[in-house]
């Protein structure tokens, strides 16, 4: 389960896109989006094992400024997800 955010839906993030995330490598994502998702996975599951290859592939698709912004946003979402879990925020639409 994940908390849904109305502006995301308004920007075109459909339930189909969300449902495809667990298997994003075979999902309807661009190579650029897949690179960002790989980076997000690594940041979440084992940020201690970032390697030069991952950053090289990431920088092949994003500028240095975009990598910085992507890093910041991923970190924010990881933190917010932990806060939502710890505080028991209910899932669903929030206004």
- The reported pTM is 0.79
Q: Is residue 36 part of a domain?
A: yes
Q: Is residue 27 part of a domain?
A: yes
Q: Is residue 92 part of a domain?
A: no
Q: Is residue 1 part of a domain?
A: no
Q: Is residue 37 part of a domain?
A: yes
Q: Please give the Cα distance from 63 to 68 (Å, whole number).
A: 9
Total domains present in the chain: 1
Please give the distance of CA 51 from its chain centroid, rounded to a whole number: 18
Q: Is residue 66 part of a domain?
A: yes
Residue 51's domain comprises: 6-87
So what's the pLDDT on residue 84? 87
Q: Is residue 81 part of a domain?
A: yes
Q: Is residue 13 part of a domain?
A: yes
pLDDT digits (tens, 9 = 90+) for 53-91: 998 999 999 999 999 999 999 999 999 889 988 998 876
> For 27-54, what is the mean pLDDT?
93
Residue 81: name the closest of 16, 1, 10 by CA: 1
Q: How many CB atoms lie within 10 A of CB 59?
A: 13
The first and second tokens of residue 10, run together, are 């308004």
First to last CA, the chain: 18
On the 0-12 / 13-18 / 19+ scale of CB atoms within 10 A, 4 is middle
């Amino acid at each position: 389960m994940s908390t849904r955010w109305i502006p995301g839906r308004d920007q075109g993030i459909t339930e189909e896109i969300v449902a495809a995330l667990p298997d994003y490598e075979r999902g309807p994502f661009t190579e650029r989006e897949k690179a960002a998702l790989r980076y997000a996975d690594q940041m979440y599951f084992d940020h201690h094992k970032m390697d030069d290859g991952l950053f090289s592939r990431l920088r092949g698709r994003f500028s240095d400024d975009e990598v910085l912004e992507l890093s910041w946003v991923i970190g924010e979402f990881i933190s917010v997800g932990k806060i939502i879990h710890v505080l028991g925020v209910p899932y669903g639409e929030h206004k």
